[in-house]
Chain A
Amino acid sequence: MAHGTTINTAATANRASGFDIERSIVTHRRWLTVMVCLLCASAVVVIGSLRFGAESISYTDVVDIFLLWLRNGPARMESAEPNFMILMYVRLPRIILAFMVGACLATVGVGLQALLRNPLADPYVLGISSGAALGAALAMLIGAGTTIMAMSSLPLFAFIGGLLSIGIVYRIAVSYGHLPVHTLLLAGVVLNAVFSALIMFITSIMDPNRSFGMMSWLMGTLLAPDYPALGALAVYVGVGTTVLATQSTALNILTLGEESARSLGVEVERLKKMIFVIAALLTGAVVSVSGLIGFVGMVIPHAVRLFVGPDHRLLLPASALVGGMFLVIADALARTLLAPSEIPVGVVTALAGGPIFLYLLTRRKGGLAS
């Protein structure tokens, strides 16, 4: 990525909305400043949230446990004491998971919003999430005895569900080789309704004891994954976001409109397909580990765009970090508010994300690019 040059598209996009152009121009220096600030903030949030959970572990204990872990290695420490187990095997993996899930959802949101040039686009609106959730529900119905984190059939089904739904939406919406945005959104809404109905059908034919477990899983749940599962997810997330990041210049040009992008040499249809597949992959991976967590994919890209401007070279990584932070904080709240019991994190994100979004929207009217 070339960070040194200013990008005309960003400036053009903002002129219409009366946005402060100077501030939204991405220079190498500005990119670095923003990213370093956000990385520091992320580190602070992640480390800070280690303190919060159903069991209170003070920061000094946290430090002690980490020192112990560094000195003795992870292997023989398990049977030592519950606090060690809680911190290293419940809380830390969960915080990392929350960060990855949040980053993923925000990245996918940015990609889809750029692609469809519509601020409403997010994995939920387009039906990708409910497709993935339907796949996950089917996996749970079929694999009667297996649990959710068996990490075998479930992510696969979720990915297939996501891909299938985006495929259907795409097939419905595509006409004369083009992809009209409003048809796409409408198709997503309809598909969403159908998939929700199918999920409800599956829960209704399941054993009530188990369907109730599935319902609460679907509400958005961050579990304590083991490290191999976390590693597997990191691979998905890493590949998906990296590929998306390499397309940020193309995404910038795409915001000018498909015709302009085409005349500027962007292979629009190929780009669309690629983004859809990545969106399905990331959403499938995320849904399979966390159920349905709403609002992150829509709110975070908006909020970040208000602050850093619409240039995707900065917007993509910044949204990923902010999305990660947002979900880590939301999950810290979900863990602690009703301790020792928990609130579904999807509830927290929607309750917290909505008002934040409204505030940003009213404070800076017209700041929304595209």
Chain B
Amino acid sequence: MWALIVGVFFAVGPATAYETDDGTMKRRQQGILTGMPFMANVVPRTFVDDLGRKLYLAKEPNRLVSLAPSITETLYAIGLGDRVVGVTEFCDYPPQARSKPKVGYSRPNLETIVALQPDLVLAPRDFIRHDVLAKLEQLKIPTFIVEAKTVEDIASRIQTIGRMLGEPETADRVAMELRRRLMELKARTESLPRPRVLYVLNSQPLITVGPGSFIDQLIGMAGGANIAAGAPSPYPRLSMEAVLAQDPQVIIFPVGTAEGISPAEQTLWRRWNTIAAVKTGSFHEIPSDLLNRPGPRIILGLEKLAEIIHPEQFAPSNFQPGR
């Protein structure tokens, strides 16, 4: 898209005057635009989402429907909470989001969405169903698909959404803060020994995170070694035998907002008393929302994870992204 605009511009004429080599296409674009008085306050209006679909926005969207908790959190973090008119039933952060109208989740209620008259629907790639997407397109409701596979992706998506919705400065600030703390965390965990970690998604049957899953990445960044790294799938049913043989030093249980690790579940794990984590009682809970949602709070989850894996290195953090 940038290439197209730049190309058009070259054709028009005075492009060479602004053809500076100060870095990326993005920079060059800004240079061009600021150089043309009549375009001074115009932001680029065509955006490409993570399905490669082009979305043209004639004006800045004011009525937003979010189809993922992570997207809702992103919108609030960059100060756009007021413009959100619809959220999923799982959007519980920040607390204000709970009072917004609910539209469902992977199978959202299309009638509710239409009734809310959104001028932009933001949906996660993993959970949006193709038929829903097709229907939204057919109904001429602009839809933007977001997918973040890494923490860096999360930062860049925050910036994209910020630019699209006219809050680039705040978004940049949130994203830069996220990147800064990520760098800091990586620097601190890099040289540390890597404790063996087991992340228990489900105890019976034991389901954990394997290579290719987002949480497996996070465990690595937080300075741990996932014992299921050799598993063949991202969310394997791991054999208890493998757990006993790999001997995890830290066992982490993702928990909901209210509950902790249930006593029954703890008893269940205490049986395996050859495991290092059981011997030292190293059972930890972590709010699953912090790790499952690829949004601005991911850094909180990551720092919490690092704190669990390297308790001696990390003090509790109190980072709050956004406002």
Contacts and interface: CB of A to CB of B under 8 A. Distances in A.
A90 B240 contact: yes
A340 B201 contact: no
Interface string A87-118: 00111000000000000000000000000000
Contacts of B233: 338, 341
Nearest to A213: B202
A216 B247 CA distance: 24
A150 interface: yes
Contacts of B237: 216, 221, 341-344
A145 interface: yes
Given A81-B274, A82-B247, A341-B233, A147 B238 contact: no
Interface in B228-285: 228, 230-233, 236-242, 244-245, 247, 254, 256, 259, 262-265, 268, 271-274
Contacts of A226: 271
A367 B90 CA distance: 57
B202 A216 contact: yes
A335 B205 contact: no
A13 B215 CA distance: 61
Contacts of B202: 210, 212-213, 216
A367 to B, nearest CB: 38
B116 interface: no
Interface residues of A, number: 42
A55 interface: yes
A54 B268 contact: no
Nearest to B235: A212
Contacts of A335: 239, 241
21 contacts: A53-B239, A55-B244, A78-B274, A85-B272, A85-B274, A89-B272, A90-B244, A145-B259, A145-B265, A147-B203, A147-B264, A148-B203, A149-B268, A213-B201, A217-B204, A338-B233, A340-B242, A341-B228, A341-B233, A341-B238, A342-B239
Interface of B: 90, 201-205, 207, 210, 228, 230-233, 236-242, 244-245, 247, 254, 256, 259, 262-265, 268, 271-274, 288, 292
Interface of A: 53-55, 78-86, 89-91, 144-150, 207-210, 212-213, 216-217, 221, 223-224, 226, 335, 338-344
